[in-house]
Amino acid sequence: MRTILITMIFCYIFIFIIGAFLEDILFPWGGVRESHLKPIYLGIIFLSGLIVGCTLYIAELIKGQNGEAKVTKKKNDEEKN
């Protein structure tokens, strides 16, 4: 859970704080402010947390299956002997 929150906070900081400075540097001539896109940016932040959460869940499942496979292999080896 902590990793998900850290990812979401990092994405928020990168998009809204660092991104504003990068926008001024990359596009010095100005342009239309994209305030209407903030809900989309917040959706991207939510998706980053969701991706990290799903990845951690799948990684735990894979680790669990590897442990079960080792136990099963040991049982099979003991039964053969």
Q: CA Rg, the chain, in Å? A: 23
Q: Is the pTM of this model over 0.85?
A: no
Q: Where are the domains of the chain?
A: 2-80
24-77 tens-digit pLDDT: 787 777 656 666 777 888 899 999 999 999 999 999 998 888 776 666 667 777
In whole angstroms, give the CA distance from residue 23 to residue 52. Answer: 27
As to burial, measured by CB atoms within 10 angstroms (0-12 exposed, 13-18 middle, 19+ buried), residue 45 is buried
Number of Cβ within 10 Å of residue 48's Cβ equals 18
56-66 tens-digit pLDDT: 999 999 888 87
